[in-house]
Amino acid sequence: MSTLRLEHISYRYGAKTALDNVSFVLEQGRFCALLGLNGAGKSTLFSLLTRLLVTREGTIHVAGHDLAREPRAALGKIGVVFQQQTLELDLSVMQNLRYFAALQGLSGRNAQRSIDAALDRLGMRDRSGEKARALNGGHRRRMEIARALIHDPQVLLLDEATVGLDTAARQAITAHVHDLADNGLLVFWATHLVDEIRATDDVVVLHEGRVLAHDDAATLAGDGSLLDAFIRMTGPAPEGVTA
Ligand SMILES: Nc1ncnc2c1ncn2[C@@H]1O[C@H](COP(=O)(O)OP(=O)(O)OP(=O)(O)O)[C@@H](O)[C@H]1O
């Protein structure tokens, strides 16, 4: 069964069309990159998936639930890591996670089990007593990913999750998230950085609100690199886009 199905999604900010008839289907256990330059429509798409924005044009199904008709059921299947950091810096890792678990309606032993499992998946259990403020950028991000997994979602959305991290932290986060996909999660990863994508990953290329391509990275790259293929589709690479 498809985990995420978008059919004919369009969205406008006044006269500006941000998404134009976007359709694709993603399956569980996959790492899918939403690859697009600044302004491609990635954040708008994530806002629609999390119902921060609503559109009447098109439908979104999450694990079989129609997001417009069954929002609670559909959103319950999604974990989100936003571009901007959203931690309580003066709380410990564990306090942050317990607070979020409570917001999700989890408490007591169930909550603790879910929190411990999420921390283990991100290799963060031994840091759980530390204040979020004491963690470096990469560990804060890992903690946000652990938090997004507490309610056991089927889809993990990450919007430019490595922005501001150094190379080592970027590689560590990218590897962790690929592991999560290998273990059965659908990871949907918005990025403009081609080097975060592996040959076997799915790639949806979004440009000026339209899907230009959807295939695995190796097929899109063909005989060349994914960056070359991306540039051919979207025009010259701006600063910061690397192979
Ligand atoms: N509130 C808004 N009002 C008007 N236009 C907007 C608004 N938000 C986004 N846009 C426009 O919609 C288009 C898509 O923007 P969006 O932020 O979704 O792209 P993005 O791929 O996430 O880019 P970035 O990485 O820069 O956030 C852009 O042309 C942007 O200028």
The gap from C-alpha 147 to its chain's centroid, in whole angstroms, comes to: 13
Atom nearest to 206 CA in ligand 1: 21
**The predicted structure's pLDDT at residue 57:** 95
Q: 32 with 26: CB under 8 angstroms?
A: yes
Residue 44 near ligand 1, beta carbon < 6 Å:
yes
pLDDT recorded at residue 47? 95
pLDDT score recorded for residue 236: 67
State the pLDDT at residue 237. Answer: 56
**Side chain identity at residue 107, one-letter code:** S
Q: Please give the biggest Cα pair distance in the chain.
A: 54
Give, in order, the Cα–Cα distances in Å from 75 to each of 12, 65, 78, 84.
23, 9, 5, 20
> Parallel, antiparallel, or unpaired for β 186-191 and 31-35?
parallel
Q: Is 97 in the pocket of ligand 1 (CB under 6 A)?
A: no
Q: Which residue type occupies 60?
A: I
**Distance, CA of 137 to CA of 164 (rounded, Å):** 8
Query: Which DSSP symbol is given to 51?
Result: T
Tell me the fold of 1-77+154-236. Answer: Rossmann fold (3.40.50)
Domain(s) of CATH 3.40.50.300: residues in the chain: 1-77+154-236
Amino acid type, 221: A
Place of tokens 């498809």: 2
Q: Is 159 in the pocket of ligand 1 (CB under 6 A)?
A: no
- For 85, the token pair is 């950091």
The pLDDT score that the predictor gives to residue 243 is 43
109 lines ligand 1 (CB under 6 A): no
* Sign of the dihedral through C-alpha 236, 168, 200, 114: negative
Instruction: Compute the distance between CA of residue 28 and CA of residue 202 in angstroms, rounded to an integer.
Output: 11
Distances (CA, A) of 195 to 137, 162, 165, 227, 242: 20, 12, 14, 8, 6
Gap between the Cα atoms of 17 and 40, Å rounded: 11
Q: How confident is the prediction along the chain (243 residues), in pLDDT tens digits per residue?
A: 679 999 999 999 999 999 999 999 999 999 999 999 989 999 999 999 999 999 989 999 999 999 999 999 999 999 999 888 888 888 999 999 998 898 888 888 888 998 998 888 888 888 889 999 999 888 999 889 989 999 999 999 999 989 888 898 899 899 989 999 999 999 999 998 898 999 999 999 999 999 999 999 999 999 999 999 999 999 865 555 554
- Residue 238 CB less than 6 A away from ligand 1: no
ipTM: 0.96
